[in-house]
Structure 1
Amino acid sequence: MNQVIPQITAYTKIGGEAGIHRLTARFYQLMCELPSARELLSIHRNLDDAEQKLSEFLSGWLGGPQLFMERHGHPRLRMRHMQIAVDSNMRDQWMHCMRHALDQTVEDPLFREELYQSLWSVADHMRNRLD
């Protein structure tokens, strides 16, 4: 008899919807608090909307419900951010906030580092301006 072993997704590891909301809430709190993220903060017109959309995106990206796609269509992250100048400085500000948010909300250090590395790849891909 073959036994099916359920795959544990990153969505499950982070704690599902509640874990994603903890991460995104802390991320945007840090963006507001850290002087080093002032430029990043200045490009966000509506933080509540941004937090909601990041939560929806991360849900699907981490293997959970495809909330962003259901509500907004394909993410097309780079295209959606083309009107914003994203250079390595902006990427680094985003990742600085995300690093601290991950450190404060994700307990498992190996999983936390996996997430950080994966998010780094996404953030680096978002660059649309030369330094």
Structure 2
Amino acid sequence: MAWKFDNNVPIYIQISNTIKLQIVTNQLKSGDKLPTIRDLAETAGVNPNTVQRALSDLETEGFVYSVRTTGRFVTDNHELIRKTRLQLAQEELENFVNNMLDLGFTQDELVQQLDAYLKGDFHE
């Protein structure tokens, strides 16, 4: 089944971000072998050149590495993975806080709402 893509962001970036998220969330673990370009392209429903560009970007960023004639593998650079995870969390928090402030919550109310939600005591 083909992946769903956002028309406002280049597909190769979306593929790269998806794989990066799989690495950061440990769905893909250090040392795991990635599917071939052709297999990934077929799964995503895109041109192999698009997948190649995404993987090249991931390799440049250090998230994957190539072993000649064997394929691409997930990095064992745990510090890179940790930093990326924290960066993604920061972006999510920023979006959450901005959305809550846009809804008219004060910072104190936001904290109260979040606390209640985390305790499972969230109601109207």
> TM over 0.5: same fold?
no
Alignment TM-score, normalising by the size of structure 1: 0.26
Instruction: Give TM-score scaled by structure 2 length.
Output: 0.27
Structure holding more helix per residue: 1
Which of the pair is proportionally richer in strand?
2
